[in-house]
Amino acid sequence: MLVDSRILVVEDNEELQGILADFLEVKGAEVDFASNGLLGLNLALKHEFDAIILDVMMPKKDGMQVAKELRDNGITTPILMLTALNGQQDLLAGFESGVDDFVSKPFQFPELEVRLISLIKRYKGNVTRTRLNYGDLSIEEKTHRVTRLGIELDLTPATYQILLMLVKAKGEVVSRDSLIQQLWGEDAPDKDILRSHIYLLRNVLDKPFDYPMLVTVPKFGFKLVAQ
């Protein structure tokens, strides 16, 4: 449900702004708008939102720049990007900038609603006050701060969620289906998107260090190993 959710829509197309406003407000959401990337960035830095709908192609700052600057400033609000770009490299670039999920243009409103609800549920009230440790890793759930051997890891919201599940499993295998369910709920995208997140996680978690912690279990899923 989107009732009582506050959503920021960053979109320069006035017609699409109006259509989105009508749809979201009917669903019970409070909607704020920005007509360019710079204004959207400033609003997201100054105010709290439950989700951000962000177009990729915009004046002053494009969606990728806005997402990256928000994450660099510690803003963890879920970001749903609207885009006509759907190649693998485009998706990777979006995830690296901090985007949580994509909706391809032209989109259907039921899909947009389901993805928004999934993102909001995943992040809302998901903060705890515990520290988790596994091998070289330490996770502060309150702040989402992750370190390996004392070195802070720069994770996207999605790769953080994947790593959190794997750490909580304490070396047990986590299935692909479980990861997809955690990330997207019932509205699961194709498995190529999960593969993209795993690729990004490996680059941050393992590449700079002497041994890999993230292990693929063929035909099933993934696990962490500690030395």
Say what the pLDDT of residue 198 is.
Answer: 93
As a whole number, mean pLDDT of residues 17-38 equals 91
Cβ atoms within 10 Å of 125's Cβ, excluding its own: 8
Q: What is the pLDDT of residue 129?
A: 46
Does residue 63 contact residue 54 with C-beta atoms inside 8 Å?
yes
Percentage of residues in the chain with pLDDT exceeding 90? 35
pLDDT at position 125 is 58
Contact yes or no for 19/72 (Cβ under 8 A): no
- DSSP SS3 for 32: strand
Range 146-175 average pLDDT: 91
Share the mean pLDDT of the chain.
Answer: 86
Percentage of the residues of the chain whose pLDDT score is greater than 70: 93
Q: Fill in the amino acid letter for 176.
A: R
Q: Which of 72-76, 81-85, 151-155 has the highest mean pLDDT?
A: 151-155
Q: What is the pLDDT of residue 222?
A: 95
Q: How many CB atoms lie within 10 A of CB 102?
A: 21
pLDDT digits over 118-145, tens only?
Answer: 888 877 655 444 678 888 888 887 778 8
- The pTM assigned to this predicted structure is 0.61
> 124 or 112, which is more confident?
112
Which pLDDT belongs to residue 126? 56
Strands ordered across the beta sheet of 30-34: 30-34, 6-10, 51-55, 79-83, 101-104
| Residue range 165-210, pLDDT digits in tens | 999 888 999 999 888 888 877 766 665 788 889 999 999 999 999 8
What is the Cα gyration radius of the chain?
18
Which domains does the chain carry?
A: 6-123 (3.40.50.2300), 134-224 (1.10.10.10)
